[in-house]
Chain A
C-alpha cells in the first residue's frame, strides 16, 4: 500500500517552508503530486500558489533572498538537499509561463532550443522532435509551412502553444503552468484547456489559475492556498461541491478573494 502510493507520486513535498526575506510565504506545505494527473492551484493573489509552483523546478532560486526548509522529493530525490543537476531537473520538469515568451527566433528554433542545449545535433532527430512537439500542441497544421518564420509573428494563443511545445521538446515528465491562459482570449483559452486534457495522458500537469471554472474543467485535484498555507487539497469534484474547510467554500462561492 505504502509502496504503491510512493511510486504514484511524482512529487512529494514535506513540511515545505519558504521565506522571502522576513516574509513567510509558504507555511508547512505537505503536498503529494500524483503521476498523470492535473493538479490545479487556486487562491487569491499573493497566497503563495505561484511561489509553490516555482519551487518545483527551483526557478525560485532566481528570486533574491529566498530561504527554504523542508523536503521537495522528485521521484524520490529531495531536490532541496541533494546536490542535483539543475539541468536534468528542468529537463524533466518543464514550465509554461503566464505570458507566452517565445524567443525572438524562428518557430523551429524555439522548439529545437531545449533539445539543442541538451546536446542533440542531428538535423533529422531535431526535425522529428519539432514536428512531434508541434503536433502535440495542435500547432503543426497552422505553422508547418512557415517553420522558419519568426515566432513573434504568431498570435498570443499560438505563442503560448508554441511555448508548451518548446517545453515538451525536452521530453519532460511534469509540466508546470503558471496561469497559462490569463493573457489569452476565450477561444485560445479553450484550446489550451483542451490541450491540457490531452496532455495529461502522458504528462503530470500542475496548473496555477485564477479562473475557478478552469480549475474545475481541467483538473483532477485542486489545491486551495490562502496566505501561504495549503488549506485544502482534494479531488476537484469534492472541492467544488463539498469542501471541507469553510474558507475554501468562501473562496469558491466568491465571498472573498
Chain B
C-alpha cells in the first residue's frame, strides 16, 4: 500500500527548509520593494507638507504664486511671491529642447535601425552612451565657456539666455530620446518591413508610412521622458540661462527656471522663513509636474499597438 504523493506535496517538501530558502529570498525582495515605495511616499509627504506651508502658514495665495509675474521675497515691506516667470522658463526650455532633440533623436534612431545598422551601432551607439555619461556640470561649463560667448558675439544679447539653456538641454536629453527611440524602432517586427517592401514600397515610404506610425506611441514616450529630464535639470541650465527674475520676451533674453531658482536660493535662505518655504513650494510644483509626465508616459504606453 504505497501512498502516492501528489505533485503539490512533493513541491512543498522540497521547500521544507523554508527559513533558509524560500522565505529568505521572498523576504529580501519584499524588503527592497517596501524600501523603494516608502522612500517615494516619504519624499512626497515631506515635500507636500513643506511645499504647502507657504500657502497655509504664510498665507500666500496659490493663484498669486502661480500667476503673478513679480518675484521679490526680500522686500521687507511688500514682498512679492510670483513664480510665473520661472514656471514659464521651465516650460519654455523643456518644450524648446524637446523640439530640437525629438527630430534629431528620432532621425538618429531611424538611421541606426533602418539605414545603416552596422555603422550606426559601431559609431553612434558609443557616442550616445558617452553623452549620457558626461556630468551635467560639464555640459554647463562647456555651455558657459563656448556657447554663451558665441551667442553674445554672433547673435546678440548677453549670451546668457533661453536659447543657451535650450541648446544645452537639447544635447543633454538627446541620448535619452535617441536610445528609447532606437529601441522602439528596433523592436518593430521585421514582418512589417517585409510586408511593405513586398508591396513595392521604397525604404522611405516604408519608414514614413508604416514604421514611424507603428512606433509612434513609443516615440512619444521617448520624447516625454526627454522632457521630464529637461524639466528637472538644474545645474547646467543655471550656468547658462542668466537667472533673472523677469519674464523673458525673446529667445535671447536671460531667464530662470524653477530648478535654477531653487538651487540659487536654497543656500542663503533661513530654514522656515517665508522665502525658504516658497522654494519648497516650487519643489512641489516640480514633483507634481513629474507625476504628470509619468501619467502621460503610462497613457502613451497603454496605447502601444505592437
- The chain A residues found within 8 Å of chain B, CB to CB, are 57, 59, 62, 86-91, 94-95, 97, 99, 101-105, 113-114, 116-118, 150, 152, 163, 166-167, 170
Contacts and interface: CB of A to CB of B under 8 A. Distances in A.
Contacts of A89: 200
B306 interface: yes
A116 B210 CA distance: 12
5 contacts: A94-B198, A95-B198, A97-B194, A113-B199, A113-B201
Given A97-B191, A114-B199, A117-B201, 4 more contacts: A94-B198, A97-B195, A101-B189, A166-B195
Contact of A163 (B193, B195, B205, B209): B195
Q: Most chain-A CB neighbours within 10 Å: which of B198, B210, B214?
A: B198
A185 to B, nearest CB: 20
Interface centre among B199, B205, B210 (most CB of A within 10 A): B199
B197 interface: yes
Contacts of B210: 103, 113
Contacts of A113: 196, 199, 201, 209-210
Given A90-B199, A97-B191, A103 B205 contact: no
Interface of B: 189, 191-202, 205, 209-210, 213-214, 305-306
Contact of A117 (B189, B192, B199, B213): B199
Nearest to B198: A95
Contacts of A150: 305
A103 to B, nearest CB: 5
Please classify the interface of chain B as helix (H, G, I), strand (E, B), loop, or mixed, using the class held by over half of its residues.
helix
B230 to A, nearest CB: 29
A104 B210 CA distance: 8
B198 A57 contact: yes
A156 B198 CA distance: 20
Contact of B214 (A59, A88, A103): A103
Leading 7 A-B pairs by shortest Cβ distance? A101-B191, A90-B200, A95-B198, A104-B305, A114-B199, A101-B195, A87-B200
Contact of B192 (A91, A94, A103, A166): A103
A104 B202 contact: no
Contacts of A59: 194, 197-198
Contact of B199 (A99, A104, A105, A167): A167
A62 B197 CA distance: 10
